[in-house]
Structure 1
């Protein structure tokens, strides 16, 4: 299944087709990253970090530059769209 998402960037419309599988994949990555913020030395933290960076690098476009702080140099708890686990 595909949905069309429209972004408005400075008066220019861009249409993107996103597969539902990709949306589910992103949500699973997002949820798996939540507990990572509580323990940066755990092996799961580094595997989640790698998975999230792989996901970011697989995107061909980030028109709003929303993931600009997704890098190994920044704590994942401070990444845009990720919330620390409680």
Structure 2
């Protein structure tokens, strides 16, 4: 019975590590496209990963920062262009 507890604990950590990496990738992609959607998703995934105690804390913090940057970029373009969408 003690053998199953560490295995299930490792699965939970691996899930949170995946959330941390996913938040980083989505936050990075959000700087280029769909920042209205990818930014908040990156913030939520990073927050959940940090709350659950991920081993990839740096990636989760980067994902959180990039998610916030996505929303700041969106706000800046909305201010300069006076619209929700922006183009190259």
Query: What TM-score do you get using the length of structure 1 for normalisation?
Result: 0.36
**Higher share of residues assigned helix:** 2
From the CA coordinates, give the structure whose radius of gyration is larger: 2
**Higher share of residues assigned strand:** 1
* More RCO (CA 8 Å, sep 6+): 2
